[in-house]
Amino acid sequence: MTFKMAILDDYQDYARRAADWTQIGDKVEVTIFTDHLDDANEVAARLEPFDILLAMRERTPLPAGMLARLPNLKLILSTGRRNAAIDIEAARARGIPVCHTGYSSHGAMEHTWAMILAAFRHIPAETSSFRAGGWQRHVGGDLKGRVLGIVGLGNIGRGVARVARAFEMNVIAWSQNLTAEQAAESGAKLVSKQELFAQADIVTLHLILSGRSRGIVGAEELAAMKPTAWIVNSSRGPLIDEAALINILRDRKIAGAALDVFDVEPLPADHPLRSLDNVMATPHVGFVTEETYAIFYKDSLENLQAWLAGSPIRQM
């Protein structure tokens, strides 16, 4: 029997290079989709013939309703350690295993700093000026001596703090369960949520999206920020109340927002965040690196080979 597998949302057409799919021989027929579909009916029609799906983390949603429309589905391979876009319980109820892969947080941490540096040195605007035949347009700012406020001092947050210390910044941190001792171990000072937003020159978010973290940054927190401060989000879009963020940016109450994640992805072409000149944004590429993709696709291939052989697989 030859199984049919769909690799979803491979925007850069990178899956075929990241792993040696010839290892599965003629056991699996692989189809790669490099585009993204939003309409649930179109998604269901496309995926209905497939036995196996390889889902890039949090791109195409696979809720219970969608899974019910895929009668042939036998296995879901998901990249990363967790995927909030998949209803794991609904899959289990159908007897469909959902596999996870390894993950590297370096790309997300490094991209956070790429955005911070680009924002403070006005790199997008200066690059545009240069390409248009112009010259200097802005005066940048030094990071030394600035206050960096980190919301969420986990693996990525700790990495961000290490780099901040190299820039000789003052680091403060807050999260719901963070202790003063844990903050100090990362070279940060524990402060209250209110103090962090009031004191920081840059606020950067590094939390897992959950029921208690959704909307954790709202109108009150944004209003407390300095008019010269930036907010950076390379974690999850819904951590910030999007409507409140748009309002504060339109009113120019803060310097700007550097964003790599959004409530809806891909972001609609006419979305307000695309047109605000105090938004510097990238299309959720923080984790999109050669090294991370190699982990994703090679581990997915190993999971697939194990499933085909009837061996233990890494299930979520």
Answer whether 140's CB lies under 8 Å from 121's CB.
Answer: yes
Q: CA 12, CA 24: separation in Å to the nearest integer?
A: 22
d(CA 249, CA 222): 10
CA atoms within 13 A on the CB side of 16: 10
CB 266 within 8 A of CB 36: yes
Rounded to whole angstroms, the Cα distance separating 118 from 62 reads 35
- The residue from 265, 291, 302, 314 that is catalytic is 265
DSSP letters, 202-246, are: EEEE-----TTTTT-B-HHHHHHS-TT-EEEE-S-GGGB-HHHHH
Token pair listed for 226: 């300095």
Rounded to the nearest angstrom, the gap between the alpha carbon of residue 120 and the centroid of all alpha carbons in its chain is 22
CA-closest candidate to residue 65, choices 86, 84, 46 = 86
Q: Of these residues, 146, 242, 284, 302, which one is catalytic?
A: 284
Query: What is the three-class DSSP state of 264?
Result: coil
Which one is catalytic: 57, 111, 122, 236? 236
Active site residue 236: yes
Q: Are 282 and 100 in contact (CB under 8 A)?
A: no
- What residues act catalytically? 236, 265, 284
